[in-house]
Amino acid sequence: MTGPTPAAVVLDGVSKCFGNKQVLSGVSLSVPRGEAVCLLGRSGTGKSVTLRLMIGLIKPDAGDIFISGYNISRLEGKELSRARCKIGFLFQSAALFDSYTLYDNLALPLRRLTEKTNSEVKEIVDRALGQVGLAGDKQKLPGALSGGMRKRAGLARALVLEPDVLLVDEPSSGLDRITASEIDDLLLEQKTLHQTTMVIVTHDVHGARRVGDRFAVLDKGNLIALGKPEELENHENETVRNLVGAK
């Protein structure tokens, strides 16, 4: 019998406001290593803000955020950069560098943050693009790709440094059901094969049920429910039931 897995992601009483608007109020959440937690909630409830806080793009007004042992909320400069090497981030828009080819998009972090030779970088990038089915498109610019392909390329870039934690913002946004399902397959594969811890912000309950081990529901900046999907189906809060209910 194994003991409890140490948490890869810990949010401890995190609060954030923009001007007068309180976006998050004392949110606490713990995600064990290898688990995928899906953050659900209505638009404007602070889901994407939570992800941006986790990667250190914005700082919380109160509380601490630990990712792979690093207190992200207190780090700056080089220390923050070092911590970010352990975190992959898939943006809603994929945010690929539009003046770079797919190959260069993936090679950039390897060239900047590792001591790998050009041939090693090429091998890693080719493998990463192959895993997401874009091996033949590496010389294309992001503008020449479809939404699904861009998302897959964004995922490959997020995973190229083999992060411990993957943060995903709306993986299915703007995609048809089949393409969204392909992205879910890739996330599932990553979780199963590499035990990558994931926090996924999504509105797609169907996809969330496939990839997520637990759901966390945010409402008006508060974490109102946390648990397995089947546990939350009969939750006392109507918003939770509505968000989780649809299979």
Partner 1 sequence: MPEFGKHIGLVRKRHERTIGGALKEFLQFIGNITLFGIRVIVSVFRRPLEFGEIWMQMEDMGVRSLPLVCSSGLALGVVMTLHTRSTLVAFGATALIPRVQSLSFFVEIGPLVAALLVAGRVGAGIGAVVANLRVTEQIDAIEVLSVDSFKYLVVPRVIACVIVLPLLVVFMDACGLVGGFLSEYAVSHLPPQLFLERAFQGVEWSNFVPPTLKTAVFGFIIGTVSSYYGYTMNEGTQGVGKAATNSVVTCSLLVILADVILVKVIFLLFPGSAV
Which one of residues 47, 84, 138, 151 is an interface residue with partner 1 (CB under 8 A)?
A: 84
DSSP E strand boundaries for 50-201: 62-67, 70-71, 87-90, 165-169, 197-201
Contacting residue, 95, 188, 224, 226, with partner 1 by CB under 8 A: 95
Q: Give the position of tokens 């946390």.
A: 226
Contacting range for partner 1; rule: CB under 8 A; set: 64-72, 104-112, 178-186, 219-227 = 104-112
Does 98 contact partner 1 by CB under 8 A?
yes
- Minimum CB–partner distance for residue 149 and partner 1 (Å): 16
Pairing between β-strand 62-67 and β-strand 36-41 as defined by DSSP bridges: unpaired
Return the half-sphere exposure (C-beta side, CA atoms, 13 A cut-off) of residue 61: 14
Query: Under the criterion CB under 8 A, does residue 55 sit at the interface with partner 1?
Result: yes
81 binds partner 1 (CB under 8 A): yes
Q: Is 70 in the site for partner 1 (CB under 8 A)?
A: no
Should residue 57 be labelled a site residue for partner 1 when binding is judged by CB under 8 A?
A: yes
- DSSP type of residue 135: G
Backbone angles phi, psi at 119, to 5 degrees: -70, -35
Q: Is 18 in the site for partner 1 (CB under 8 A)?
A: no
Tell me: does residue 91 bind partner 1 (CB under 8 A).
Answer: yes
Distance of CA 122 to the CA centre of its chain: 25
Span interacting with partner 1, options 14-22, 33-41, 60-68, 92-100, rule CB under 8 A:
92-100
Residue 213, CA distances (Å) to 39, 121, 154, 227 in order = 11, 33, 23, 8
Interface map 124-163 toward partner 1 (x if CB under 8 A): ---------------------------------x------
